[in-house]
Structure 1
Amino acid sequence: MDCVEVLEKNFDEVEEEESVDGQNVDNYIKHPLHNVWALWYFKNDKRNDWSANQKVIATFSTVEDFWAVYNYIQSASKIAPGCDYSLFKEGIQPMWEDENNRDGGRWLINLDKRKRATELDKFWLETLLCLIGEAFDELSDEICGAVVNIRPKGDKLGLWTRDASKKDAIIRIGKMLKIRLNISAEVTLEYQVHKDNSLKTGSVARCSYTV
């Protein structure tokens, strides 16, 4: 059962429960998440510096509140080029400099812009569900968040982890992500260390691990 099915199953189970005073139990009970999450939006406004363009849209801590936020905002494929969505555990900012991120890195998925309408939203939603559903099991504490970048030349989806030195854990997370997103075995995912990205002199960052 994938992440989408797990969370949808929660709703089905609630609907089947007995009512209280003639009203559905769902009116009284929400399904808490293991963490509180913050959804960020980066607006590509060249009049402001990078940090001023990065805003928290909403925070949530239940399954129902996640869906309320997700169904209200524009889908990732519809936001303007140059803009980003980020979902991070509350207290972690979507930037390399954050103390929770600075020793970590990201699994990076490059997406052809021609497949934006067919793959991007599906991959992004499944990644979000994996985050809030703690789909990486005991390795979920290593997860900081995820970012989707909408760019004219091609979109990117990155899963950010806390400690890039934990090779075995990083590889396992990459393999689990690949399975969850149903990415073909012929497609290679690359892991980039944030410190390498911050020090790079060209347009391509060094790849530390692959799956």
Structure 2
Amino acid sequence: MSIDPSSIPNFGGQQPDPQQASGPAGPVIPDQDLVKQLLDQMELKYVVDDEGDLAAPWEEFRTYFMFRGEGDQRVFSVRTFYDRPHSIDEKLPLLESIDDWNRRTLWPKVYTHTHDDGTVRLIGEAQMMIGTGVSLEHFVSSTVSWVRASIEFDKWLVEQLGLEKDAGSGSDADAAAEADAADAAAESGTEADASGKDADDQPGEDTGKS
């Protein structure tokens, strides 16, 4: 299966030239190769970590594109780890802020993770059941929206808490794409090191690092 570039919402960079989609008309089962193709079309750099998960790195966060489960229970998860540390004393106002975000937005749903040293970091996540197949257009538009939302959340939190953001912050792939996407989207983002990818799996989830 392949992605029709004309079906990808503008991510802030140069839009690829439209071409005829060559993929199947019916439902597809997305995989990592499809996500790589989408990230290429979005002109975003990515890496594959030691555990085989795909990640798009930014300066302040890293977004992982993970597949978990088997058969009908297979899940696609876009999970963002925000690298900005917060002290344990800041946790209460931080929770109040992300509660407000979670009430008013569809994705990503954001939660905290408190490390052993007392440092608090944020994780955002959106998930899609893909075990029985999904529309390629739905998969593409959802994934692009989730990435935009992850970026917008970081921008929103900086404004909400009066945090200072590095002037040079931006995508390793394209800093201009991040800025344009953040202005255009109405959603959010995250980074952290790969070792914490499964630290905050919620009960009933099958999307964490195994």
TM-score bin, normalised by smaller chain = 0.3 to 0.5
TM-score with structure 2 setting the length: 0.33
Higher relative contact order by CA 8 Å / sep ≥ 6: 1 or 2?
A: 2
Higher strand fraction (1 or 2): 1
TM-score with structure 1 setting the length: 0.33
Q: Which structure has the bigger radius of gyration?
A: 1
